[in-house]
Amino acid sequence: MSLKHFSLLATITAVLLVAVNCGILTQHADSVPENCLKRKPIQSNYTPEGSEITLGNLTIYETTEKNSTRLIISIYDAFGFSNNNVKEVADRLSKVQGGFRVIVPDFYRGEFWHGDPDVFPPPDMEDLLAWLEEVGSWEDRVQWDLINIVEHYRAEGVEEFAVYGMCWGGTMSLLASIYLPDYLRVAAYIHPTLIPDELAPAVRIPTFLMPTMEDPDLTQFYEILRQNFGNNTAHWRFEDMLHGFASARGDFSDPRTALRIEEMINLLGFFFNRILNIGK
C-alpha cells in the first residue's frame, strides 16, 4: 500500500468513525434535510408479493424472482421493516430489465424507535441517534450482515450483488460502497440522509446518486465519481419530490409521487442491469 493510499484511508477512517457513531449527523446538521428529522411515515396498504426467510437471527424479505443470478440488497430507512413501501419498490424492481433477485433484510431485528412509528419525531434527537447506533451500527452489525448475506446467496448460485439504500439506508450504502467492494459491484443512494463530499474519493464501486429537492447538492460528489468511474456512475435529482418519497414517508397513492416512483425504479433497473451483466 502506498503512503498516499494509506493517508487517504486514515482520513476516511477518521471521518467514518464519527459517522458510525452518529456524531456526523449533528456536526453537519445543515446537510440533513429538516423534514428528515420531522416527517412521520405513511402507512402503506400494499400487500407484499414475496416471502420471508431467516438467516441466523436476521429476517430477510425475498421477492418472488428466484432464478436470477443477480441480487440486489435494499436497505430501508429509519422506519424499518414493517412499512411496506420499501417492499413494494423491491417487488417492482425485481421485474424490470429481465429480472433481479431483490431482498430487504431487517437490520433492526424487528425493532422500531420506542416500538411505535407514531412516536416521531422524538423529543430528544440525541436519543434517536443513540438508538440508531445501537440497532443499525455499521461497524458492529450492518457490514457483517451484508457479508453474511452475500456469502449465503453465493452458495445458492448468485454471481453478482448490488445495494441501494434510502435515507439512513443511503448512508449505509455509502459505507458499503467504500468498505465492501469485494462483495458488491454497484450501489445507489436514494434520498440519502448524509453523503459528505469528502468521502467521494473513497467510493470503490459504480454508484447512482438519487437526491430530491430537499437533499443537499451532490454535484461535487458526482463529479468526483465521474473522475474515477467515467460513465459507470449517474446522478438524477428529483426536483419535485420530498425527501423520503420512495420509502416510508412516501405517499404512493399520490399520482405525481407514483410517477416518480416508476421513474426511479426504471432508472435504477437500467443502471444496475448495465453494471450487473454476468447473470443476465
Question: What DSSP character marks residue 16?
Answer: H
Angle between helices 143-155 and 168-179 (to 10 degrees): 70
The model's confidence at residue 256, banded by pLDDT at 50, 70 and 90, is very high
Share of the chain above pLDDT 90, in %: 68
Closest CA to 264 of 239, 233, 236, 226: 236
**Structural contact between residues 182 and 205, judged by C-beta atoms closer than 8 angstroms:** no
Q: Which domains does the chain have, with CATH numbers?
A: 50-275 (3.40.50.1820)
Instruction: Give phi and psi for 137, each to the nearest 5.
Output: -70, 125
What pLDDT, on the 0 to 100 scale, is given for residue 48?
Answer: 97
Pick the range with the lowest mean pLDDT from 20-24, 70-74, 225-229, 271-275.
Answer: 20-24
Mean pLDDT of 19-24: 44
Condensed to tens digits (0 to 9), the pLDDT of residues 189-241 reads 999 988 999 999 999 999 999 999 989 999 999 999 999 999 999 999 999 99
The b-or-e profile of 100-129 (16+ CB within 10 A means b, else e) is bbbbbbbbbeeebbeeebeebeeeeeeebb
Query: What's the predicted TM-score (pTM) here?
Result: 0.89
Structural element, H or E, at residue 52: strand 51-55
The model's confidence at residue 118, banded by pLDDT at 50, 70 and 90, is low
What pLDDT, on the 0 to 100 scale, is given for residue 280?
Answer: 47
What pLDDT, on the 0 to 100 scale, is given for residue 222?
Answer: 98
The model's confidence at residue 104, banded by pLDDT at 50, 70 and 90, is very high
| pLDDT over threshold 60, residue 1 | no
**Structural contact between residues 103 and 149, judged by C-beta atoms closer than 8 angstroms:** yes
